[in-house]
């Protein structure tokens, strides 16, 4: 018997659409008449071939990708991509440009520096505790690429407009907002995302790479650290994270068929975020931490008057069926992650609880 499900505001692993969970449940013991679970089928079988090809094609459709892009699934999460990107896309004698907007950008920068790349951090919001997205900076036209993190889960900031780097390829960590809104892929050399925040469970990263970027991969790299290895074998040089890719495919189908595509997905996400930010802004008890023009549609970060009240808020919220509201351990406070799968009803329930908590403790 299933216990009561909570409203899930975890930052990752995060909420999955309930319809997707039900579909997984219905197929778990016998996938498509195979007599096996998806957990058991060979990755060399037609059953899994269909799964990974469907996930690739659904990604292409949702993002309107041309044939000049490859969609790959690589284990190791976004953290492995921090080192694979400079390894594969760095060019001899040319710098790599980074914008630092918080923890995950900092980690990506460190991995490029470890390799001895000529790393130029051309903009940073560290001066104000990463509470905003920098706007005033110049990209080196000779740079091999410009790397930025599109959404910052810990600080609750997001790029509303992507940087203009001219002919320099953009590279972006979109772990926490991929497929939450439409985008023009043309300026991007590579987009990557750990799946466990917005498109699936943990276990794989989605990597969308422009084919001309594959020409940069040096021959001397270890086989499993080359993008070409994954591109040439449809992400199946070795056994991929089969369950994760299967779930991603179902989430993509949900976005496409149930939601109606990325424009409608963005409209829902904007509605959720504006409701919650409007509530926080009119409150004298709750306080948002990100600057208004840089606020994330995915991660709403906020503080209460003191840490003791924050602990009580998180604990009492869980008792009321609202989970995952504790802020990241590095910054404290509170955070509501309202990714694609977290619906309007969850946000309304949270606002109702916040109003009652403020009435009692404010």
Catalytic residue among 117, 155, 159, 173: 173
pLDDT exceeds 80 at position 1: no
pLDDT of residue 362: 83
For 75-115, what is each residue's pLDDT tens digit?
999 999 999 999 999 999 999 999 999 999 999 999 999 99
H or E element: which one contains 287? strand 287-288
The percent of residues in the chain predicted with pLDDT above 70, rounded, is 99
Q: What span, in angstroms and rounded, lies between the C-alpha atoms of 266 and 268?
A: 5
For 142-153, what is each residue's pLDDT tens digit?
999 999 999 999
Catalytic residue among 197, 226, 272, 326: 197
pLDDT of residue 230: 98
Q: What span, in angstroms and rounded, lies between the C-alpha atoms of 129 and 17?
A: 33
**Residue 87 contacts residue 225 (beta carbons within 8 Å):** yes
Token reading at 248: 């991603």
pLDDT of residue 207: 99
Domain with CATH 3.90.1150.10 in the chain: 261-361
Q: Report, as an integer, the average pLDDT of 24-46.
A: 97
Average pLDDT, the chain: 97
Q: Helix or strand or coil: residue 74?
A: strand
Q: Helix or strand or coil: residue 189?
A: strand
For 322, phi and psi rounded to 5 degrees? Answer: -120, 105
173 is catalytic: yes
For 158-182, what is each residue's pLDDT tens digit?
999 999 999 999 999 999 999 999 9
46 is catalytic: no
Half-sphere exposure of 126 toward its Cβ, with a 13 Å CA cutoff?
11
**Residue 297 contacts residue 157 (beta carbons within 8 Å):** no
* Closest of 256, 144, 156 to residue 190, by C-alpha: 144
Planar angle of CA 115, 121, 123, nearest 5 degrees: 160
Q: What span, in angstroms and rounded, lies between the C-alpha atoms of 295 and 293?
A: 6
- 196 Cβ contact list (under 8 Å, min separation 6): 12, 13, 14, 77, 202, 203
For 231-283, what is each residue's pLDDT tens digit?
999 999 999 999 999 999 999 999 999 999 999 999 999 999 999 999 999 99
pLDDT of residue 63: 98
pLDDT of residue 2: 58
Write out the DSSP string of 142-171: T-S-EEEESEETTTTEE-SS----TTSPEE
Q: What span, in angstroms and rounded, lies between the C-alpha atoms of 294 and 218?
A: 37
Planar angle of CA 20, 188, 131, nearest 5 degrees: 75
Q: Are strands 205-210 and 157-158 parallel, antiparallel or unpaired?
A: unpaired
Domain with CATH 3.40.640.10 in the chain: 21-259
The percent of residues in the chain predicted with pLDDT above 90, rounded, is 99
Q: What span, in angstroms and rounded, lies between the C-alpha atoms of 215 and 227?
A: 10
pTM greater than 0.95: yes
Pick the CATH number of 21-259 from 3.40.640.10, 1.10.260.40, 3.20.20.70, 3.30.930.10: 3.40.640.10
For 335-360, what is each residue's pLDDT tens digit?
999 999 999 999 999 999 999 999 99
Helices (H), the chain: 18-27, 46-63, 77-89, 103-114, 211-214, 227-232, 242-253, 262-282, 307-319, 344-361
Q: In what order do the strands lie in the sheet with 69-74?
A: 69-74, 205-210, 188-194, 170-173, 146-149, 96-100, 119-124
The correct answer on CATH 3.10.620.30 for the domain covering 261-361 is: no
What letter does residue 326 receive in the DSSP assignment?
A: B
pLDDT of residue 4: 87
């Amino acid at each position: 018997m299933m216990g009561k499900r909570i409203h899930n505001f975890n930052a990752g692993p995060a909420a999955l659409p309930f319809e997707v969970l039900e579909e997984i449940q219905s197929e778990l013991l016998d996938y498509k008449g195979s007599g096996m679970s998806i957990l058991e089928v060979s990755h060399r079988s037609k059953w899994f071939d269909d799964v990974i090809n469907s996930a690739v094609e659904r990604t292409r459709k949702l993002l309107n990708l041309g044939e000049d892009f490859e969609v790959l699934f690589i284990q190791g999460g976004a953290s492995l991509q921090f080192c694979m990107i400079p390894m594969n896309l760095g060019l001899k004698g040319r710098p790599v440009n980074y914008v630092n907007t918080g923890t995950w950008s900092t980690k990506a920068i460190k991995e490029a520096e470890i390799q001895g790349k000529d790393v130029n951090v051309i903009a940073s919001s560290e001066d104000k505790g990463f509470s905003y997205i920098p706007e005033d900076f110049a990209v080196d036209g000779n740079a091999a690429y410009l790397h930025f993190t599109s959404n910052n889960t810990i600080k609750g900031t997001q790029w509303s407009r992507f940087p203009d780097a001219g002919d320099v390829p953009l590279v972006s960590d979109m772990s926490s907002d991929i497929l939450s809104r439409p985008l023009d892929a043309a300026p991007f050399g590579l987009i990557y995302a750990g799946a466990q925040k917005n498109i699936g469970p943990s276990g794989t990263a989605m990597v969308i790479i422009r084919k001309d970027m594959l020409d940069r991969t040096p021959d001397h790299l270890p086989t499993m650290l080359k993008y070409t290895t994954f591109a040439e074998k449809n992400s199946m040089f070795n056994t991929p994270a089969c369950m994760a890719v299967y779930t991603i495919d179902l989430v993509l189908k949900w976005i496409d068929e149930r939601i109606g595509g990325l424009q409608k997905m963005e409209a829902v996400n904007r509605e959720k975020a504006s409701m919650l930010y409007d509530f926080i802004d009119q409150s004298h008890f709750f306080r948002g931490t990100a600057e208004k023009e840089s606020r994330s549609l995915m991660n709403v970060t906020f503080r209460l008057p003191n840490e003791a009240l924050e602990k009580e808020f998180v604990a009492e919220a869980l008792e009321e069926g609202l989970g995952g509201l504790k802020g990241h351990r590095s910054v404290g406070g509170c955070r509501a992650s309202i990714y694609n799968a977290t619906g309007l009803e969850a946000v309304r329930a949270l606002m109702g609880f916040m109003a009652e908590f403020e009435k009692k403790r404010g």
